[in-house]
Structure 1
Amino acid sequence: MCVALVVGNMIGSGVFMLPASLAPYGWNAVFAWLITIGGAMCLALVFARLAQAFPRAGGPFAYTEEAFGRPAGFLVAWSYWISVWVANAAIAIASVSYASVFVPALAKTPGLAALVTVAVVWAVTAINCVGARAAGWTQLLTTVLKLLPLAAVAGLAGLILLRKGPAAIAPFEPSALSAGGVTAAAALTLWALLGVESATIPAEQVDRPQRTIPRATLLGAAFTGLVYLLVSSGVLLLTPVAVLQTSNAPLADFVAFHGGGDLRLVLAAFASISALGALNGWVLLQGELPAAMARDGVFPAWMAKTSANGTPVRAHLLSSALVTILVLANYAKSLADAFTFMALLSTASSLFAYLFCSLAVLKLGREGRMPLSPGLAIVAGVAAIYSAWTFYGAGWSVTFWGLVLLAAGAPLYVWMRHVGRRSSESVE
């Protein structure tokens, strides 16, 4: 289930929607994928080693607090929580976007699409409120289902290459490559690989976390990177840019363009299911993370309250309410445009956690609080540089809104410090 959580959260909407967002970048996007997969594997090793040394619930927050104290821990917890519920908005939009293949009104009527997206969010929230095991089995089933269409797309790409040869591939023009193009594309490709840390969040509900979480993290990241490289690059290089740029269902349109016929409908159905599976895994995190923070006194205590089956229902309800507001606030945009904006915003918010956790390995290792080999030090350093570089690539608009959301947590931090001081004074 841990591997399914990592793979299911990483393979969600990205592989099915990103070809449309990446279409303008051409071969820049292929190089961006290679860099992103390398960066993601460095991050996977960072989280694997941190999970071995500190098998605490809360993942990025727990590791950052260990290294840099409570203020930095709060910053990471707040930004990561934002990235999770913003990601859920993007993933739910992706699911509805592929459903528009069957219900064209969803693509033509933004208000209807927004309402259906909100309904999907709350349906998955209800599943997670039943309990983590129910969410785990749902994740396992949808992860298996989502791999079937990806295998079909990769197989079709291979057949096209065998039948038409190199002539089928978009021509490689070195003059079209640019550092800016690769950087901008890499900010989008990282969205597809967010979730490498997924198994570290619900550590208290994982059997033998010191062994299970690192293995699931590394295996899940490597497998997902390979899938993305084969599928996304194949679609990008074998489909005209004009077909992808305007598509709400790029993989389905790739199949249709190459004569897939009714297979387009089958692929669209599986793509929608895939996004639902990823949404299920991320909704699990959007409840577990703030609940863990509340138990540590970082977030308000009422968010730590659980139901009889141990589910943080209050945290789930608050997070899904924020997702609802975000979706409705962007309902006027097309499905593809809304997805791209939210994907970048979620990525930018996640990068705070990735940067701090990479630096945490170096600090904790230097202090002798966890093993730090020369190889791990190099990997952590590369992961930190990669995180900072991708943050730059997200663009100023997304960075601005990310900083606004980050600043919104300042009053909560001040209030929680005040509550903490009052509690300590009453004990004295």
Structure 2
Amino acid sequence: MSSNKMGLMGLTTIVTVNMMGSGIILLPSSLAETGGIALLAWGITAIGALCIAYAFAKCGMYCQESGGMSAYAQRAHGKSSFFVASYTYYVCLVISAVAIAVTSVGYLESFIPWLKTSPMHNFIGVVLILTLTLLANMRGAKITGQISSITVWGVIVPVLGVSIIGWFWFDATTFKEGWNPHDVSISKAMSSGIALTLWAFLGIESAGVNSGAVVNPKRNVPLACMLATIFSAVTYVASTTVIQGIVPNAMLAASDAPFGLVFAQMFNPFVGQVITAMAVVACIGSLLGWQFTNAQVSKAAADMRLFPKMFGETNRFDAPVKGMLIMLALEIILAVMTISPTLVKQFDVLVDLAVFINMVPYILSLTALGVILRNANVSGSEYNTSIFVGSIAVVYSIYGAYATGQESIFYGTLIMLFGYFFYGFIASRDAQPLPVESSPSSEEQNQ
């Protein structure tokens, strides 16, 4: 085994850390708005996420071109799909950045009560956090990587902690009372929870990226993705279930810092404040990572002449500053458009829109799995297994898009259609002029 390559355990850890991010940190409050019955959505989401992870791992193993999901999509759907996948993923990450900033402000309110006195104060907090993380990103990849590798534990420690030790405080009566307080049907409850739970798994698309640095990638990449997804799913389900049995449902639904709240209930307010501070640090680190990723996505697209040239221009730290400033402007516009009376409401709107838009590159890239496998000349059994799992992943992605609701589908579709509008200019710029037919001679005209 090469000393420079990762084994199964190392890759599983990396994928788990990348996936857990900050997606879970405000979810208990959002799910509590429906009641504990929304937890049933975790079952479907876990199966769907496993299938998506497996399919993306296979795509990453057999399609080594740069561009990730966009490169996969191009294999089956042509050049326009490379642009549309890049464009929709870019928009999704802009929305995700605002959602994470909203989460950060929710947890910061414990330390700065002024933030929760009005929606405008919330908005100011969101803009300040987005701006500060962007300024840090302007110092380049090294700083971002160092910060993110430490801050992610601010999510993992509280979530893992409550999943393991929270059962000692679990009260079946509290859980039962909060199970279905609004008397909604099972199908409605699960639909309301699908988009929220799927949000916690976004980032799974990076599963196959590390295949070149792994020992025996054909075995270890899909296996690591499956193990990381199973571990994350178990942790997510356990943590949200435990919280539902410790904190009364009405209190949980109204909370902007559910993990801080549950640790305060389990121990004392000081411990709750420590966990809240850890969550703030984790959210800011996650936001740094997402903004950096999005700046690199747009830079790669600009280098391929699919995005405007300015997205690819870098400073002395090799950071695409102009692209970052455009991204910040879009994030602030989105923050203005989604200002809500409560942070949880704003978070829910952003998550639904982000999930719907992210399903576009998911579906474009996952439907290319068959072409990628055929080109790689894989065995019949591997092809059939992968296509079966990949088909479940696509159907689940379509269901995930449907579950985000009419408003998200409406605005998300408009955003996607604008992508095709923008691509028309790119296609016309690169089009070759058709050969000019010579005009018929006067003699031919007379015949």
Residue 128 of structure 1 corresponds to 137
| Matching residue's letter, 2:189 | G
Task: Return the match for 1:170 from 166, 176, 201.
Answer: 176
Residue 6 of structure 2 corresponds to none
Q: 1:239 offset after TM fit, Å? A: 2.6
Task: Return the match for 2:368 from 338, 360, 369.
Answer: 360
Does 1:78 find its partner at 2:84?
A: no
Residue 69 of structure 1 corresponds to 78
Task: Return the match for 2:405 from 382, 389, 395.
Answer: 395
Task: Return the match for 2:229 from 221, 225, 250.
Answer: 221
CA contact (8 A) 1:7 1:143 kept: no
Does 1:324 find its partner at 2:354?
A: no
CA contact (8 A) 1:4 1:140 kept: no
Give the 3 Å change call, closer, same or farther, for CA 258–145 of structure 1 in structure 2. Answer: closer
Residue 244 of structure 1 corresponds to 252
Q: 1:232 offset after TM fit, Å? A: 1.5
Give the 3 Å change call, closer, same or farther, for CA 286–209 of structure 1 in structure 2. Answer: farther
Give the 3 Å change call, closer, same or farther, for CA 55–133 of structure 1 in structure 2. Answer: farther
Does 1:419 find its partner at 2:429?
A: yes
Residue 320 of structure 2 corresponds to 312
Does 1:25 find its partner at 2:24?
A: no
Residue 408 of structure 1 corresponds to 418
CA contact (8 A) 1:58 1:292 kept: yes
Q: Distance in 2 between matches of 1:209 and 1:292?
A: 28
Give the 3 Å change call, closer, same or farther, for CA 58–77 of structure 1 in structure 2. Answer: same
| Matching residue's letter, 1:183 | S
| Matching residue's letter, 1:119 | L
Does 1:286 find its partner at 2:294?
A: yes
Q: Distance in 2 between matches of 1:224 and 1:70?
A: 34
Q: 1:195 offset after TM fit, Å? A: 0.9
Residue 39 of structure 1 corresponds to 48
Q: 1:347 offset after TM fit, Å? A: 0.5
**When the two structures are superposed, what TM-score results if normalisation uses the length of structure 1?**
0.88
Residue 11 of structure 1 corresponds to 20
Does 1:231 find its partner at 2:239?
A: yes
Q: Distance in 1 between matches of 2:249 and 2:357?
A: 29
| Matching residue's letter, 1:377 | I
Q: 1:258 offset after TM fit, Å? A: 4.5
| Matching residue's letter, 1:396 | Q
**How many pairs does the alignment contain?**
420
Partner deviation per Cα, 1:140-191 (whole Å, 9 max, x = no partner):
1012233222233224421114xx5x44532667x85522221221111101
Residue 275 of structure 1 corresponds to 283
The alignment-based identity, stated in percent, is 26
Residue 377 of structure 1 corresponds to 387
| Matching residue's letter, 2:268 | G
Does 1:115 find its partner at 2:121?
A: no
Q: 1:118 offset after TM fit, Å? A: 1.3
Q: 1:226 offset after TM fit, Å? A: 2.5
Name whichever of 383-392 and 177-186 sits farther off.
Answer: 177-186
| Matching residue's letter, 1:419 | R
CA contact (8 A) 1:65 1:72 kept: yes
Task: Return the match for 2:201 from 168, 193, 206.
Answer: 193
CA contact (8 A) 1:198 1:285 kept: no
Task: Return the match for 2:351 from 339, 343, 350.
Answer: 343
Residue 96 of structure 1 corresponds to 105
Q: Distance in 2 between matches of 1:358 and 1:72?
A: 12
Give the 3 Å change call, closer, same or farther, for CA 416–147 of structure 1 in structure 2. Answer: same
Residue 160 of structure 1 corresponds to 169
Residue 445 of structure 2 corresponds to none
SS of the equivalent of 1:16 reads: coil
Residue 334 of structure 1 corresponds to 342
| Matching residue's letter, 1:393 | A
Q: Distance in 2 between matches of 1:262 and 1:155?
A: 20
Q: Gapped runs of 5+ residues in structure 1?
A: none
| Matching residue's letter, 1:336 | V
CA contact (8 A) 1:252 1:268 kept: yes
Name whichever of 209-218 and 328-337 sits farther off.
Answer: 209-218
| Matching residue's letter, 2:50 | M
Q: Distance in 1 between matches of 2:409 and 2:377?
A: 34
CA contact (8 A) 1:13 1:95 kept: no
CA contact (8 A) 1:359 1:384 kept: yes
Give the 3 Å change call, closer, same or farther, for CA 210–336 of structure 1 in structure 2. Answer: farther
SS of the equivalent of 1:193 reads: coil
Give the 3 Å change call, closer, same or farther, for CA 27–378 of structure 1 in structure 2. Answer: farther
Partner deviation per Cα, 1:17-61 (whole Å, 9 max, x = no partner):
111111133343222112112211211111111111122332111
Q: 1:297 offset after TM fit, Å? A: 2.7
Q: Which has the larger radius of gyration?
A: 2
Q: Distance in 2 between matches of 1:57 and 1:424?
A: 31
CA contact (8 A) 1:292 1:304 kept: yes
Q: 1:244 offset after TM fit, Å? A: 1.5
Give the 3 Å change call, closer, same or farther, for CA 291–214 of structure 1 in structure 2. Answer: farther
CA contact (8 A) 2:401 2:409 kept: yes
Q: Distance in 2 between matches of 1:193 and 1:358?
A: 16
Q: Gapped runs of 5+ residues in structure 2?
A: 1-9, 436-447
Give the 3 Å change call, closer, same or farther, for CA 237–401 of structure 1 in structure 2. Answer: farther
Q: Distance in 2 between matches of 1:61 and 1:397?
A: 26
Partner deviation per Cα, 1:271-310 (whole Å, 9 max, x = no partner):
1112112212211211111112222232223322333443
| Matching residue's letter, 1:317 | L
